[in-house]
Structure 1
Amino acid sequence: MPYDFLDTQLGTIARELPGATRVLHAQRLDFCCNGQRTLAEACLRKGIDPAATVAALEQLCAVDQDEQNWNHASAEQLIQHILTRYHECHREQLSELIRLARRVEQVHGNNPDCPNGLTDHLSDMQQELESHMAKEEQILFPMLMRGEESLSRGPISVMRFEHDQHSQALDKLYALTNEVTPPPHACNTWQALYRGLNEFCADLMDHMHLENNILFVTQVTAKAL
């Protein structure tokens, strides 16, 4: 890819440069549902200086990358990776995060820094994500595995719409948790909760990116041409 990062779309950077998703996520730049925006446009919308992001991306270009490049994987390989790395992982993550959030709210609910409402929000996310993943596992992924690209276009449109909803849910999560930043006085449980939230948010963004920008594009659109 041409490494003129400022004028390159976020989705392209995330798709073609291994390790870039971590850099973009650290800046809360949505490379998934808003992956059509250039880095310059996204930084302008966020009100951040793109210089540090560009420097971090350039550093990735200068070192060897061990991360798997999924652009050239088969649909079967990518789907299996999504199922084991993300679907199974999200189910474990959310159950524990809900437990930790409930404990923090019970103990620290009167603290103005407490993320009150987070437990309910995570429970809502769990229900919505479970429904979403079930549709993929039972309907969409079997279609793609059978090579039924034309039949899969409708379900893919639904999955993309639901990804937008998941992205909005992440925005609310960030708002509830001060960008997932624990206060200086946070107890061990509170800190563990926020570490887990950061991991979950990064995983969910990577999950949606692999589907929106690779599986739904290179494995479907390209075959339909």
Structure 2
Amino acid sequence: MELNASQTVGKIATSLPGAAALFRRHGISFCCGGSDSIGAAAEAAGLSPETLVDELQGLVDAASTEAPDGTVDLINHLRTRYHDTHRADLISLIPLAAKVERVHRDHPDAPIGLANLLERIQSDLHSHMHREELMLFPLMERGDHHILTRPIEQMRHEHEVEVDHLAELEHVTGGFHLPDGACTSWRALYAGAKKFADDLIQHMHLENEVLFPRFTGGTV
């Protein structure tokens, strides 16, 4: 994953593990201000573009260390650490979001629309992960490189849909910022939703930058 100061904040925040937290620490918005370049965002935050790119490069260097060396081991890791975890997280988050929206619907910071967004993510991910588990991963485990180009292109396209969902999630929750006096349910919702978002970014990074290049002529 190559970085430069002309890339947009929103793209990096939703595709590089740890970038969202880094931007938040520097007071850089990537939902409403997601179209800003890294260079422009750095200067607005009182940083040099080179400093921010260097910090992001450190995240790139660390992002793939989790990946097992073997392809079969990596696929098993993706199944258990991410696919199974996403399913379980969304099952609990959707009703919790609906509860918080219902109870706090008159609060100006209420995350109205969050339950619906999580339902859309759940539907998309269910189809995406099912096809990976049923077709793509078994082909990879057998080493069938010659028929994987189109399926991988489709998976990458579907990841871009999730990138858009992650940006929307950041917007609906105001960067997971809790209002003063937020109840226990609201706190649990944002903690769980932030953890889900971080997991999804790491999941997609491992596939896009580590697994897929092993079958498309790239290097890892």
Q: Give the Cα separation in 1 of the matches to 2:195 and 2:129.
A: 19
Match of 1:182 in 2: 178
The code of the aligned residue for 2:20 comes to: H
Whether 2:193 is the aligned partner of 1:197: answer yes
Q: CA deviation at 1:192?
A: 0.8
Paired positions, count: 197
Q: Give the Cα separation in 2 of the matches to 1:199 and 1:129.
A: 16
Q: Give the Cα separation in 1 of the matches to 2:210 and 2:181.
A: 42
One of 202, 215, 219 as aligned partner of 1:220: 215
Q: CA deviation at 1:221?
A: 2.5
One of 113, 119, 129 as aligned partner of 1:133: 129
SS in 1 for 2:148: helix
Query: Aligned residues: percent identity?
Result: 35
Q: Give the Cα separation in 2 of the matches to 1:223 and 1:166.
A: 23
After superposition, the CA RMSD in angstroms is 3.4
Match of 1:156 in 2: 152
Q: Which runs of 4+ in 1 moved over 2 A?
A: 4-7, 41-61, 67-70, 221-224
Whether 2:142 is the aligned partner of 1:146: answer yes
SS in 2 for 1:21: coil
Does the aligned pair in 1 maintain the 2:17–2:59 contact within 8 Å?
no
Q: Are the structure 2 counterparts of residues 196 and 53 from structure 1 closer, same or farther at C-alpha, using a change threshold of 3 Å? A: farther
Whether 2:74 is the aligned partner of 1:78: answer yes
SS in 2 for 1:109: coil
- In the superposition, the TM-score normalised over structure 1's length comes to 0.75
The code of the aligned residue for 1:142 comes to: P
Q: Are the structure 2 counterparts of residues 138 and 103 from structure 1 closer, same or farther at C-alpha, using a change threshold of 3 Å? A: same
Q: CA deviation at 1:25?
A: 3.2
- In the superposition, the TM-score normalised over structure 2's length comes to 0.77
Does the aligned pair in 2 maintain the 1:6–1:54 contact within 8 Å?
no
Q: Are the structure 2 counterparts of residues 201 and 223 from structure 1 closer, same or farther at C-alpha, using a change threshold of 3 Å? A: closer
